[in-house]
Amino acid sequence: MRILIVEDEPDLLRSLAQALREEGYAVDTAPDGEEGFYKADNYGYDAICLDVMLPKMDGWEILKRLRKTKKTPVLMLTARDQTRDRVRGLDTGADDYLVKPFDLDELFARLRSIIRRSANKTTNEIQIGDVKIDTAARNVFVKDKLVELTAREYALVEFMALHRGEVVTRTQLYEHLFDENDETLSNLLDVHVSNVRKKLGAEFIVTRRGHGYCIE
């Protein structure tokens, strides 16, 4: 899963990015509104953490412009704890609202929630045959036995599971599994898919030649 953080406080931006990467997310960052909107509008993200008070373009304007073309889940971050601000954010198109200072566990939970809702999932568990995915604990089980996956392998499994029945292109997978700092190799995705098949079953991810991959 790939997350964009738009935040102008350098320490908070750095700490949030590090915490999310430690959780296994691919993370892009933007220190001001103009860069934040450019990235949000031009790249595919699974969720955006968006500060309200930003230089060059505030969070309200970013959200207003973004909602003209994209449905990317947005979690608004702000120090303003007034009801009218929360209402404005939600009415403008935010999916959730978190007031600073906040607990990281709550941030993670809210991100999982808006990503899950965007994929029309109502629970943290996804069952696909003998494979069970717990998106809250970020664990995968086969016949109730825990399977050890790397962070990138888990991200691949979760993204594919949330798009079950859809053909996901290689470009989409690169966009959602790797961030702007990754130096990706042309065969890196093939390696991850191969490893997942070895651990979860050869038919878990199906190749649609010339199109991409699918969990049927």
* CB distance 2 to 25 below 8 Å: yes
Helices and strands in the chain: count of H runs, count of E runs = 8, 11
DSSP three-state, residue 48:
strand
Matching CATH topology for 2-118 and 125-214?
A: no
pLDDT in tens, 99-133: 888 999 999 999 999 998 888 777 888 999 999 99
Q: Do you find a cis peptide bond into 10, omega within 30 degrees of 0?
A: no
* CB distance 95 to 77 below 8 Å: no
Domain segments of the chain as ranges: 2-118, 125-214
- Which of 153, 169, 183, 179 is closest to 212 using CA atoms? 169
Please state the pTM of the whole predicted model.
0.82
Give phi and psi for 170, each to the nearest 5: -60, -40
Fold for the domain defined by 125-214: Arc Repressor Mutant, subunit A (1.10.10)
Fold for the domain defined by 2-118: Rossmann fold (3.40.50)
pLDDT in tens, 161-185: 998 889 999 888 888 888 877 765 5
Secondary structure of 113-157 in HEC code, one letter for each residue: HHHHHHCCCCCCEEEECCEEEECCCCEEEECCEEECCCHHHHHHH
